[in-house]
Chain A
Amino acid sequence: EPEVTQTPSHQVTQMGQEVILRCVPISNHLYFYWYRQILGQKVEFLVSFYNNEISEKSEIFDDQFSVERPDGSNFTLKIRSTKLEDSAMYFCASSDRGLGTGELFFGEGSRLTVL
């Protein structure tokens, strides 16, 4: 069964460093998303991406964040100058046909720890 894969599964970084989280969405999907979840809290929308550009972004997704689809398979989230409060689980998700069934397919997540 096709799945969304994410790397790394866990990254520890120092405050102020840059991190890149990588995702390989399901191959025939057209819409890509990043969500984050601080431990024990809800899943928060960060950004959606379609047709090689950002479709929508939340208030959380400020200039510190950027997304890129550098090739036909990868979808990356870059966090510049990480802060302690960026520590969270970051989930990549993909969907086809603009969420006609309301279904997002999530990867297993990348846990980011900022020290």
Chain B
Amino acid sequence: GQSLEQPSEVTAVEGAIVQINCTYQTSGFYGLSWYQQHDGGAPTFLSYNALDGLEETGRFSSFLSRSDSYGYLLLQELQMKDSASYFCAVRDLGSSASKIIFGSGTRLSIRP
């Protein structure tokens, strides 16, 4: 089976940096994704790591260590609009089409 662990809640201050960790256990692994979801909205894709290392996209960066089954999402220069839930997700191969399994999500609250 698959399991993904991430903190349920994180609080940070506007302008600061926050890191959201994710550890995973899967029977097959092809990559780790991160999604953002605002209240009442749909999940939107942020990043994907298939190889070890850091991927940077603007204020957001994502890191993967396959040997440790661990990754994190780093958000810099936090803005109030970054208040949302963040899900790590694992691409897990199934039959002829991969599927993505989501973690339980980390609710990020940002204080002024």
Contact = CB atoms under 8 A, between A and B. Distances in A.
Contacts of A105: 45
Interface size class on chain A is 20 to 34
Interface in A63-115: 91, 98-99, 101-109
A27 interface: no
Contacts of B58: none
Nearest to A91: B42
Nearest to B46: A103
Contacts of A55: 94-97, 99
A28 interface: no
Nearest to A41: B104
A98 B97 contact: yes
Interface string A56-67: 100000000000
Interface string B15-56: 000000000000000111101010001111100101000000
Contact of B97 (A42, A50, A102, A109): A50
Contact of A50 (B32, B96, B105): B96
A43 B94 contact: no
A91 B43 CA distance: 9
Interface of B: 30-33, 35, 37, 41-45, 48, 50, 87, 89, 91, 94-105
